[in-house]
């Protein structure tokens, strides 16, 4: 870039350091023409567009402070939060977009947070997705329960068997299950 003082098209880097969060590099430069010094900042461009339409640079610390509230009293460490924020940023950057809606940042947090702590996830989701009733919680919990194993299938299959046995006609009056039917025929 040009020297901001004399417009000389060349400059020399005299110092280079990463910002504390590692998201950018600051360079101190000196113009070989006029000798004056100036600073530049280099960062991968990623803006978050807020609901108001105003854009601001993506910030891991904002992700962390949002999630930390939901994690109060939970066995979640600062390292866990830092990793989660990193995961969120990587997922967003992987999309290749230079801009993202704040809403999308929230959505990107839900997945990693669910893996980290399910209670914190429910708290975060209840605020973020505007839970309005117990039903909303029940639905979210039902989804969480579906993830580990599909344990409901056998129960559904038993219900289907019951319907088939009723057409046999042997004891049509009882609407009970197949096992109950066999018990009543033993009694008779």
Q: Which stretch binds Zn ion (CB under 5 A): 6-14, 68-76, 87-95, 129-137?
A: 6-14
Closest contact distance (angstroms) between CB of 42 and Zn ion is 20
Closest contact distance (angstroms) between CB of 37 and Zn ion is 9
# of chain residues touching Zn ion (CB under 5 A)? 7
Q: Strands 24-30, 12-18: parallel, antiparallel or unpaired by DSSP?
A: antiparallel
Q: Report if residue 14 touches Zn ion, rule: CB under 5 A.
A: no
Site for Zn ion in 25-44 (CB under 5 A): 31, 33-34
Q: Report if residue 3 touches Zn ion, rule: CB under 5 A.
A: yes
Closest contact distance (angstroms) between CB of 3 and Zn ion is 3
Q: Secondary structure of 8-59 in the HEC alphabet?
A: CCCCEEEEEEECCCCCEEEEEEECCCCCCEEEEEEECCCEEECCCCCEEECC
Closest contact distance (angstroms) between CB of 12 and Zn ion is 11
Do 19 and 25 contact (CB within 8 A), yes or no? Answer: yes
Q: Report if residue 6 touches Zn ion, rule: CB under 5 A.
A: yes
Site for Zn ion in 42-61 (CB under 5 A): none
What are the residues whose beta carbons fall under 8 Å from the beta carbon of 109, sequence distance 6 or more?
A: 63, 66, 67, 84, 88, 124, 128
Q: Could you count the other beta carbons within 10 Å of the beta carbon of residue 33?
A: 14
Interacting residues with Zn ion (CB under 5 A): 3, 5-6, 8, 31, 33-34
């Amino acid at each position: 870039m040009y020297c901001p003082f004399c417009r000389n098209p060349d400059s020399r880097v005299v110092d280079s350091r990463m910002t504390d969060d590692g998201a950018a590099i600051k360079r101190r430069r000196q113009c070989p023409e006029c000798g004056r010094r100036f600073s530049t900042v280099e960062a991968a461009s990623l803006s978050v567009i807020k609901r108001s339409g105003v854009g601001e640079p993506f910030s891991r610390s904002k992700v962390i402070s949002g999630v930390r509230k939901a994690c109060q009293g939970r066995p979640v460490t600062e390292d866990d939060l830092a990793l989660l924020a990193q995961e969120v940023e990587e997922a967003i950057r992987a999309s290749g977009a230079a801009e993202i809606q704040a809403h999308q940042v929230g959505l990107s947090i839900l997945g990693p947070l669910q893996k980290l702590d399910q209670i914190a996830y429910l708290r975060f989701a209840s605020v973020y997705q505007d839970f309005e009733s117990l039903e909303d919680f029940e639905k979210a919990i039902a989804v969480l329960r579906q993830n580990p194993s599909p344990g409901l299938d056998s129960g559904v299959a038993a219900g289907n068997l019951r319907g088939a046995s009723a057409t046999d006609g042997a004891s049509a009056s009882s609407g009970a299950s197949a096992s109950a039917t066999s018990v009543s025929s033993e009694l008779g």
